[in-house]
């Protein structure tokens, strides 16, 4: 189960499991509007390389608009995956509980 | 004589009822051979529950010996359970009790089989992306049945997704081939094997991406197998006949 929607301050909220079967829907949602400034991952339980690609494409779009994407509330298991791929250096991020 | 065959946990269970004499032996041996095939493919053990077995002749005894040898060749544990005193005596007099383990009851035999052979499960799906949720469910159910700690679950879910999607995206045309996924838990170590009959491809031969590259230089793919290597203790590839076999393992409990 994966959900993506806009939060009260215009941030994108992702929740559940962003596996390979959900990436197309996530990209469709993101590409239908200007690249977000913030994606809240507090309720994201799972991500793999397909999901990382969604984040990467969104970051590239934000940069093209002269902005930088911020990932907030990144939980430890998700942070591990960002770290193993070096994505923690590509994104500005804040970790859950900080 | 009547013979029932059931699957229980990782075990093929054969339940003969009545008299195993010369007339019944050929049929019984055939049923044992079929049950052994099933055990070899998806389970780890073949157990004969002898609680309703009233009599065994020498021809009947021979069927157990034939099966014990076939089980040894197939790497399947073979044992008998719940023998009546009369039948047990036949095994003891013939010395067969030294070649085939005899357990007091079915529960003891099952427990022995699970702890000795470990836990196994296997699922075969078509090579199409929409099978991924079924694979994830298969892994999660195995996790729950084996009461494994939650910590390493994500590493295996990720490894399964990455390797399966690799086969889907880069193997045979979608929906035209089968992918076999198996799990084997033994001694605290869990092994995940993903096999497909697509063209030979060793994903481990793809160079690791530069994790320090700047965003502009980052390719949008190629992260998957690198992540898998990072999260598993061991990853190996073999071409077995016409199949690609990728085996990943990691310690999941102490």
Domain boundary among B64, B94, B115: B115
- Do B123 and B74 sit in the same domain of this protein? no
- Do B158 and B204 sit in the same domain of this protein? yes
CB contact under 8 A, B223 and A52: yes
What CATH number is given to the structural domain containing B137?
3.30.565.10
- Do B57 and B140 sit in the same domain of this protein? no
- Do B236 and B128 sit in the same domain of this protein? yes
pLDDT tens readout for residues B138-197: 999 999 988 899 989 999 999 999 999 999 988 889 889 999 999 998 878 999 999 999
From chain A, pick out residues whose CB is under 8 angstroms from the CB of B136.
17, 19
Q: Which has the closest alpha carbon to A27: A66, A65, A72, A60?
A: A60
SS3 of B1, please? coil
Name the H helices within chain B.
22-42, 58-74, 85-94, 106-117, 132-145, 153-170, 224-231
- Do B244 and B127 sit in the same domain of this protein? yes
- Do B131 and B87 sit in the same domain of this protein? no
Of the candidate ranges A4-8, B11-15, B34-38, B43-47, the one whose mean pLDDT is the lowest: B43-47
Position B69 scores a pLDDT of 93
B209 to chain A: closest CA residue: A85
- Do B99 and B9 sit in the same domain of this protein? yes
pLDDT tens readout for residues B188-227: 899 999 999 988 999 888 887 777 777 667 666 668 898 9
Domain boundary among B115, B136, B170: B115
- Do B138 and B229 sit in the same domain of this protein? yes
A6–chain B nearest CA distance, Å: 25
Domain boundary among B52, B80, B115: B115
Residues of the domain holding B138: 119-251
pLDDT at position A49 over 90: yes
- Do B132 and B83 sit in the same domain of this protein? no
CB contact under 8 A, A84 and B213: no
- Do B10 and B93 sit in the same domain of this protein? yes
| Cβ–Cβ < 8 Å for A53, B221 | yes
| Cβ–Cβ < 8 Å for B249, B189 | yes
What CATH number is given to the structural domain containing B28?
3.30.750.24
Q: How far apart are CA B227 and CA B209, in angstroms?
A: 10
- Do B86 and B188 sit in the same domain of this protein? no
Q: Does B250 touch chain A (CB under 8 A)?
A: no
From chain A, pick out residues whose CB is under 8 angstroms from the CB of B224.
48-50
Mutation for B interface: A19, A75, A93, most B CBs within 10 A: A19
Q: Does B162 touch chain A (CB under 8 A)?
A: yes
How big, in percent rounded to 5, are the helix, strand and coil portions of chain A?
40, 30, 30
From chain B, pick out residues whose CB is under 8 angstroms from the CB of A86.
210-213
pTM: 0.70
Mutation for A interface: B159, B227, B235, B250, most A CBs within 10 A: B227
Count of structural domains within chain B: 2
A85–chain B nearest CA distance, Å: 6
Quickly tell me which residue has 């390389």 as its tokens: A49
ipTM for this model = 0.92
- Do B195 and B237 sit in the same domain of this protein? yes
């Amino acid at each position: 189960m994966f959900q993506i929607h806009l939060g009260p301050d215009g941030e994108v909220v992702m929740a559940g499991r962003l596996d390979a079967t959900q990436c197309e829907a996530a990209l469709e949602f993101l590409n239908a509007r200007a690249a977000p400034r913030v994606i809240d991952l507090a309720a994201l339980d799972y991500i793999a390389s397909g999901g990382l690609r969604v984040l990467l494409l969104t970051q590239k779009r934000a940069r093209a608009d002269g902005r930088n994407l911020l990932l907030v509330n990144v939980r430890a298991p998700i942070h591990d995956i960002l770290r193993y791929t070096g994505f923690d250096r590509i994104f500005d991020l804040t970790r859950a509980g900080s | 004589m009547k013979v029932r065959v059931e699957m229980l946990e990782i075990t093929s269970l054969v339940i003969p009822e009545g008299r195993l004499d010369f007339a019944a032996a050929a049929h019984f041996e055939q049923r044992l051979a079929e049950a052994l095939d099933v055990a070899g493919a998806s389970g780890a053990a073949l157990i004969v529950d002898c609680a309703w077995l009233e009599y065994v002749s020498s021809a009947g005894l021979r069927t157990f010996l034939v099966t014990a040898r076939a089980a040894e060749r197939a790497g399947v544990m073979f044992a008998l359970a719940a023998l009546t005193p009369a039948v047990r005596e036949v095994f003891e007099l013939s010395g067969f009790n030294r070649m085939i383990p005899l357990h007091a009851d079915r529960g003891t035999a099952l427990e022995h089989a699970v702890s000795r052979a470990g836990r196994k499960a296997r699922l075969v799906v078509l090579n199409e992306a929409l099978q991924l949720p079924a694979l994830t469910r298969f892994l999660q159910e195995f996790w729950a049945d084996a009461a494994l700690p939650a910590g390493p679950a994500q590493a295996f879910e990720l490894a399964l997704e990455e390797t399966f999607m690799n086969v889907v995206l880069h193997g045979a045309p979608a929906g035209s081939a089968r992918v076999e996924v198996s799990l084997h838990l033994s001694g605290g170590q869990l092994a995940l094997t993903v096999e497909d009959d697509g063209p030979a491809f060793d994903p481990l031969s793809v160079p690791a991406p530069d994790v320090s590259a700047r965003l502009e230089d980052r390719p949008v793919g190629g992260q998957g197998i690198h992540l898998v290597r990072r999260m598993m203790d061991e990853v190996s590839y073999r071409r077995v006949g016409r199949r690609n076999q990728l085996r990943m393992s990691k310690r999941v409990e102490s």
